[in-house]
Structure formats: C-alpha cells, structure tokens
Amino acid sequence: MSANHFSFKQFTIQQELCAMKVGTDGVLLGAWADVKSTSLQANRSTSILDVGTGTGLIALMAAQRNPEAHIIAIDVNPDAVLQAQENVGASPFANRVIVRQADFRKGFEGLFDAILCNPPYFENALRCPDASRSTARHSDTLTFDDLALNASSLLRPLGTLSVIIPSERRMDMIAACATHGLTIVRETHVRTLPTKPPKRVLLEFISGLVGQQERLDYPESPEISTLTIEATPGVPTPEFKALLKEFYLKF
C-alpha cells in the first residue's frame, strides 16, 4: 500500500484524485452489507446502487462478493467519478459496474435490490479547507433524511439500505429511515479494541416491511451484534479477519 493506491486480493484502488482515501469504514461496509438482497426474484440479477462511491471501493467489493450483481456507482464529485472509473476499468468486474456523476439529492432513476452508502455525517463541525473533503464529510451535502427519502423510492419491496455511521448518530439514521418506511433489521456495533466503546455502527434497513414482519417471517426486533477490530493494538481479531479474508492481502 502507498498513499496513492491500496491493493486488495482481486483489485487495486488508485486514490490520488479522491478527497477520502480507502479507510476502515468503507471496507467494513463493503464486506458486511447485504449484496444478495431479499428482494431478489428468480431469473433476475441483483441490482445495486453505491451512493457516494468515491474511489469505487464499495462497488468493487460488492461486485466481488456477488458474481451475479450489476452495480451503478454514483458520486457528485467529478474527480471521484474519474478515479472510480479508472479503478473499475482496471478490475475484473468492469463489465458489471457502471460509474456515473450524479447528485443523489436530486433523485435517480431505476429500481434496486440494495443501496449501499458510507454517508457524510458531520453536523455543525469545523469545515475542512479542502472543499472536496468537506463535501465528503459533512451531512448538509447529503442529509440522513435525503438518503432515506430517495432510498425508499428506489428500493424494490424488501430491498435493503446498508450504511456505516458514527455510533452517536445511530438514532438519527433510524428515525430518518422510519419516517420514510424503512425498517431496521440488522445492526453491528464496531469498536477498535475490547476495552473501547463502539465508534461506528453498521445498519441495515428493509423497504416495505412496515406492519409485515409476522407475515413475511421477520423478527420484530433487529439482529444486533458487536465487531471488535483488534484484540490488542496491531493484532486483528479472528472475526475481523474472517470478515475481510477475501479482500485483505495480509489475511
């Protein structure tokens, strides 16, 4: 790995044009998210939308995990789009991943089985002088309500929205999704060490489930788990290695 690229087992991420580099948040979401959605019907490939794709990392991870998936990756930043197109074009999955420049707040056409997003989440925080990095980090460029509203209109019945956000903003996301008919069904709380409180939470929501849990055989409460990244500083836990063994060279 260098500052300008990050090598995974099946693809390499170039990142010199992107404000936000490869990080643990994106890797976790790409490995954890449901990419074989419950809305999948017989004889139809899974369709996935990656919102705010940046380098294209999450879209490529989804393509690797589901060989039948067709993925559209979008970003508002033209440099990120160019970088993601480069990364997709150099990968084994170029025929199944399309990268487009688009502003998700203005809507999008199509129906999807799964939507993945590592959204901007800072509110009322000191802005970074780098405008591209600020856009990628601050939620006024894509609020949780924007994300939930547009996701609810683009997901097929029983399609999934998967996100990773700071733990302290968990209830904000859950409330936004509930307002737009998305039901939380799975959450994983992520901590760096066993002695540390969770800093991130992975959340999965399903569309069209309100009032239908019993009929569709879904539990009333979400499945909740905890993922610890390191057993001691520098030593990854077995569960973290298991989650990422198909991607990290060192695992």
Q: What is the pLDDT of residues 25-55, one digit of tens each?
A: 999 999 999 998 666 555 567 999 999 999 9
Q: How far apart (Å, rounded) are the C-alpha atoms in residues 105 and 143?
A: 9
pLDDT higher than 80, residue 165 = yes
Q: Does residue 166 lie in a domain region?
A: yes
What average pLDDT does the segment 202-218 reach? 78
What percentage of residues in the chain have a pLDDT greater than 90?
Answer: 74
Per the CB < 8 A criterion, the answer to whether 63 and 71 are in contact is yes
Q: Does residue 179 lie in a domain region?
A: yes
Least confident of 55-64, 87-96, 155-164, 202-211: 202-211
Q: Does residue 132 lie in a domain region?
A: yes
Provide the pLDDT confidence category of residue 136 given band limits of 50, 70 and 90.
very low
SS3 222: coil
pTM metric for this prediction: 0.89
Q: Does residue 35 lie in a domain region?
A: yes
Q: Does residue 172 lie in a domain region?
A: yes
Q: How far apart (Å, rounded) are the C-alpha atoms in residues 251 and 244?
A: 7
Q: In CATH, what number is assigned to the domain containing residue 206?
A: 3.40.50.150
Whole-Å CA distances, 118 to 62, 121, 209: 13, 9, 23
Q: Does residue 249 lie in a domain region?
A: no
Count the domains in the chain. Answer: 1
The neighbour count for residue 13, using CB atoms within 10 Å, is: 25
Residue-wise pLDDT tens digits, 86-127:
999 999 999 999 999 999 998 888 999 999 999 986 444 443
Residues with Cβ within 8 Å of residue 227, at least 6 apart in sequence = 28, 188, 189, 190, 191, 202, 239, 240, 243
Q: Does residue 250 lie in a domain region?
A: no
- Count the residues in the chain: 251
Q: Which residues span the domain enclosing 96? A: 5-244
Q: Is 91 left (phi over 0), alpha (psi -120 to 50) or beta?
A: beta
Q: How far apart (Å, rounded) are the C-alpha atoms in residues 94 and 88?
A: 5
What average pLDDT does the segment 177-200 reach? 97
